[in-house]
């Protein structure tokens, strides 16, 4: 497809309208607790039937990109992640809001999303065929080690290691409820038809993060509530600071790109891996979870980088890498377009306009996000008497919308009460989410590996280490374990030193008074 025809297609009014409308819808959907890109795209999928294929695809691509950013808005302002992938942003963004730096946190979020989105889309444009072939090399053994590395990330989070270990084990337990996908056996269902379906991550996230936060806000005095404070900070100041910390963006974008390539892994693992790596390499790891912009930069750059890379196996091989890309694949099939390598030969107009049009979705997200921050911040001006019931209603709607199940609503409420208790006793909530997300991935790939090893008549360990890639990933897991142990020691020493310096003046004053 020649350059002029491509530019003409990209700058067509209907294409630009679809891109900006899709991104705006995506941001709004992503900010609603419990809704995500897959739900937003599925709701608007019928609308694309009447549009040209490239226009409809970019409408869905805009929703996908916008949703990845939208969840961070409520995460930063009211500590309610719109989606599970925004949980690390809440861990840094909400403390910044409590410090009167909400506007700054939102700027870090949108511009980090911009850089991450650009990395992912550029990779999508330049390296689609070779990266798709690389993703196919990941079998059960390799996927098992990838998921195992995600569990080790729990050790990088601050707080008591024992409490973090309890939290991740609780998350793994929740992931085992239901019917075993391999053997078909029921586990912890207690005869309940609803529990046979398993526990979805959506009511878990809504309960632990959203409902628990709203429950803790009930009855608070006005002086104890977080209020909106005007902050004098420019967009260029934040952009320059992000560029100065470019290495965090590069690492986050790389992690998001690689993990996004792997079918079934999802964005959550990429976001937590990037966040943990930023904390590991930081000169002040003890400042994380207290309002450190580095955590937002790492999480958001990885978050949006997965958008482009998750579409690589879809366009190059016809293999959807995520639920969202599977819905986009459905839109292509409805239009009679065959996915795979032939797409670039038979329908280059659709393929190339969609590839380069994803760059426009990053531009649209940046414009809408950067200029909408002033209005997003007004959420903090809403009285808590109105905000709590509104957020609770949206959370319960989000829990119900996944499977049209009142059981999920009740589960979200129960986990909300439990989450409030956990917050009171300082049990971290993020490891629970990691356990729920990675549990099925670890179990299913380990079961497949055992089945394949048995069919080949070899020991499980021999099969797990039969490829160079698997051995390399095992080395990575062991290296991560060593690094996390060293990092926790360094963080503990830094916190002890800070505590000693804080208490020293008090001791001197007491001595002088005596």
pLDDT tops 50 at residue 509: no
pLDDT tops 60 at residue 510: no
pLDDT at 135: 65
Instruction: Kindly write down the DSSP assignment for every residue of 110-123, as one continuous string.
Output: HHHHHHHHHHHHHH
pLDDT tens digit sequence for 367-410: 998 888 878 777 766 677 777 788 788 778 878 877 788 888 89
Q: Considering only CA atoms, which of 258, 247, 246 is closest in space to residue 150? A: 258
Residue 156 vs residues 57, 88, 253, 510: alpha-carbon distances, Å: 39, 12, 19, 37
pLDDT tens digit sequence for 426-458: 888 878 877 887 788 888 888 888 888 888 888
pLDDT at 109: 92
Residue 60 pLDDT class (50, 70, 90 cuts): confident
> CA-CA distance, 54 to 332, in Å (whole number)?
9
State mean pLDDT over 261-272: 73
Nearest 5°: the CA angle 278, 160, 415 is 95
* Averaged confidence pLDDT in the chain: 79
Residue 363 pLDDT class (50, 70, 90 cuts): very high
Residue 365 pLDDT class (50, 70, 90 cuts): very high
Q: Are 61 and 344 in contact (CB under 8 A)?
A: no
Q: Kindly report which listed range (34-43, 247-256, 326-335, 490-499) carries the lowest average pLDDT score.
A: 490-499
Q: For residue 428, give the DSSP letter.
A: -
pLDDT tens digit sequence for 118-146: 998 888 888 776 765 666 677 888 888 87
pLDDT at 114: 92
pLDDT tens digit sequence for 75-97: 888 888 777 788 888 888 889 88
Residue 35 pLDDT class (50, 70, 90 cuts): low
pLDDT at 418: 92
pTM over 0.95: no
Residue 476 vs residues 23, 28, 148, 265: alpha-carbon distances, Å: 37, 38, 10, 17
Phi, psi (rounded to 5 degrees) for 347: -130, 65
Three-state secondary-structure class, residue 263: coil
- Residue with the bigger pLDDT between 329 and 251: it is 251
pLDDT tops 70 at residue 226: no
Q: Are 85 and 268 in contact (CB under 8 A)?
A: yes
pLDDT at 514: 47
| CB count in 10 Å sphere of residue 493 | 11
Give the list of residues 6+ apart from residue 416 with CB closer than 8 angstroms, or none: 206, 207, 208, 210, 211, 212, 214, 215
What percentage of the chain exceeds 90 in pLDDT? 9
DSSP-assigned beta bridge partners for residue 187: 178
Q: Are 452 and 140 in contact (CB under 8 A)?
A: yes
What percentage of the chain exceeds 70 in pLDDT? 82
- Residue with the bigger pLDDT between 357 and 7: it is 357
- Residue with the bigger pLDDT between 301 and 155: it is 301
pLDDT tops 90 at residue 111: yes
Angle between helix 323-334 and helix 37-44 axes, rounded to 10 deg:
20
Decide the pairing of beta strands 186-187 and 178-179. Answer: antiparallel
pLDDT tops 70 at residue 507: no
């Amino acid at each position: 497809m020649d350059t002029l025809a491509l530019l003409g297609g990209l700058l067509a009014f209907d294409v630009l309208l679809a891109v900006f409308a899709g991104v705006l819808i995506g941001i709004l959907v992503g900010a609603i607790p419990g809704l995500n890109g897959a739900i937003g795209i599925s709701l608007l999928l019928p609308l694309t039937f009447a549009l040209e294929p490239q226009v409809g695809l970019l409408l869905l691509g805009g929703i996908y990109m916008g949703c990845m950013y939208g969840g961070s808005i409520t995460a930063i302002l009211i500590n309610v992640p719109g989606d599970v992938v925004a949980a690390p942003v809440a861990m840094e963004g909400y403390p910044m809001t409590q410090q009167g730096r909400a506007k700054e946190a939102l700027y870090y979020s949108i511009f980090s999303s911009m850089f991450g989105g650009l990395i992912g889309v550029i990779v999508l444009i330049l390296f689609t065929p070779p990266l798709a072939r690389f993703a196919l090399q990941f079998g059960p053994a390799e996927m098992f080690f990838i998921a195992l590395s995600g569990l080790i990330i729990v050790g990088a989070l601050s707080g008591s290691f024992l409490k973090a270990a309890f939290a991740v084990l609780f998350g793994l337990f929740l992931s085992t409820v239901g019917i075993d996908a391999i053997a078909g056996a029921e586990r912890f269902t207690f005869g309940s038809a609803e529990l046979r379906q398993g526990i979805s991550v959506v009511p878990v996230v809504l309960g632990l993060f959203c409902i628990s936060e709203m429950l803790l806000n009930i009855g608070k005095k006005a002086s104890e509530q977080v209020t909106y404070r005007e902050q004098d900070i420019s967009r260029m100041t934040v952009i320059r600071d992000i560029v100065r910390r470019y290495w965090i963006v590069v690492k986050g974008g790389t992690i998001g790109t690689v993990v996004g390539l792997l079918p079934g892994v999802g964005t959550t693992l990429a976001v937590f891996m990037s966040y943990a790596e930023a904390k590991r390499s930081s000169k002040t790891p003890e400042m994380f979870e207290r309002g450190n912009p580095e955590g937002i930069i790492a999480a958001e750059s990885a978050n949006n980088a997965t958008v482009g890379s998750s579409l690589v196996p879809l366009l190059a091989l016809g293999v959807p890498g995520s639920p969202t890309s599977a819905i986009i694949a459905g839109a292509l099939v409805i239009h009679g377009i065959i996915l795979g390598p032939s797409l670039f030969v038979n329908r280059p107009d659709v393929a190339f306009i969609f590839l380069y049009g994803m760059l426009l979705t990053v531009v649209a997200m940046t414009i809408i996000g950067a200029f909408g921050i002033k209005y997003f911040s007004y959420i903090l001006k809403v009285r808590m008497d109105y905000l709590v019931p509104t957020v609770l209603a949206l959370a319960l709607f989000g829990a119900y919308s996944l499977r049209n199940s009142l059981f999920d609503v009740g589960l979200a409420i129960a986990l909300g009460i439990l989450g409030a208790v956990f917050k009171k006793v300082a049990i971290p909530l993020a490891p629970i989410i990691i356990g729920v997300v990675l549990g099925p991935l670890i179990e299913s790939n380990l079961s497949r590996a055992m089945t394949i090893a048995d069919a080949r008549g070899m020991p499980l360990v021999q099969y797990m280490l039969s490829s160079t890639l698997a051995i390399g990933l095992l080395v990575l897991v062991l290296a991560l374990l060593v690094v996390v142990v060293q990092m926790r020691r360094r963080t503990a020493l830094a916190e002890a030193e800070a505590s000693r310096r804080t208490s020293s003046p008090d001791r001197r004053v007491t001595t002088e008074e005596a």
